[in-house]
Amino acid sequence: MYHCLDTSQFDRRLLEEISELADAARFISKSKEGADWLSGLLSHKRAMLYFVQPSTRTYLSFLSACQILGMQTADVRDTSTSSEVKGETELDTVRTFSSYYDAIIMRHYKANFAREIADMLDKTNRPVPVINGGAGKDQHPTQALLDIYTLRKSFEQRGGIDHKKIAFVGDLMRGRTARSLSRLLTRFENVKQYFVAPDFLQIDSGVLSVLDRLGISYELVDDIHKVLPEVDAVYLTRLQDEWDDQDKTAGHYFIENYALTMENVGLLRQHAVIMHPLPRRQEISYEVDSDPRAVYWRQVRNGMWARVALLAKIFGVEQEIKQV
């Protein structure tokens, strides 16, 4: 593991390893002595957080993960404060970061930009790892990692992720989290995926052709009520209307038909889990937060530890954590 660019890099063994590393680091951090030890592990490394698309959780979660491992950080979150306004290309801007920092963690509105950056840096005499913290409508590999980590913990007493049924609900056409998690779920045995969305927001054929090629079973559904009683996990997503054309409005969509409320949450099985990458709008009513099946706030916390594990792996200190 050098760059972390997309979900195709993660096979099952690596997913298990990252989850176990996350658990180990989390356990070590419980004592002051352990937390101090963790913060010495990467105190010789510094990271650049280049997040030019809005972010709360992913940005803070990477920042916290760096802090836990003792890495110092800097950030650019707004290109209006960078030399890009003087006409510098984004490639040159990022190459500048690589002159100062040991890793570039980035979120960008262009789908392929993290890979472009990685390819460009690989040809320089100072390549550094690039970590994709969300790329356009396409990939969000570290969200998928934390989602797998959360599912694994949720199903610990129920045989793990294998043989489970998982429904994605909402704006699946433009949501990179559903696409990314769908791919990682193919690493497990016999997991059935449901895609619940109105036709015009349904998951694209690229994702489905991967599932077809791998012989994974899935269903396209337009009614949330049909899948709630069937599944082990429901993964809600918000309307991604930042991608709308100018003349469309959010009111155009019937997102209320793709929400979990006090009226329909009772349809879920007793052991099912409720997930959401957040931010949410109306897809999950606030009353649902106190339902024991709701794990979306746990996902937030798990994300920090999954990113600690990923950074430890990228910088080659995973054995030290495992040996404690």
> What residues line the site for ligand NCD (CB under 6 A)?
57-58, 134, 140, 143, 176-177, 237-238, 277-279
- Catalytic residue at 140? yes
- How far apart are alpha carbons 250 and 231 in whole angstroms? 28
- How far apart are alpha carbons 268 and 46 in whole angstroms? 45
CB of 113 to ligand NCD, least distance (A): 15
In sequence order, which ranges of the chain are alpha helices (DSSP H)?
12-28, 32-41, 57-68, 90-100, 113-122, 141-154, 176-185, 205-214, 224-227, 296-314, 318-323
- Catalytic residue at 86? yes
Q: Which residue among 3, 107, 176, 280 is the active-site one?
A: 107
CB of 169 to ligand NCD, least distance (A): 12
What token pair was written down for 89?
A: 């290309």
Q: Closer to ligand NCD at the Cβ: 311 or 321?
A: 311
Q: Closer to ligand NCD at the Cβ: 141 or 277?
A: 277
Q: Closer to ligand NCD at the Cβ: 273 or 278?
A: 278
CB of 292 to ligand NCD, least distance (A): 22
72-76, strands of its sheet edge to edge: 72-76, 46-51, 103-108, 130-135
DSSP letter for 139, please.
B
- Catalytic residue at 152? no
Q: Which residue among 26, 45, 58, 137 is the active-site one?
A: 58
Q: Which residue number has the CB closest to ligand NCD?
A: 277
Question: 308 near 69, Cβ under 8 Å?
Answer: yes
Q: Is 193 helix (H, G, I), strand (E, B) or coil?
A: strand
β-sheet bridge partners, residue 260: 284
Q: Which residue among 13, 30, 86, 213 is the active-site one?
A: 86
CB of 180 to ligand NCD, least distance (A): 9
Q: Closer to ligand NCD at the Cβ: 45 or 140?
A: 140
**Enzyme catalytic residues:** 57-58, 86, 107, 140
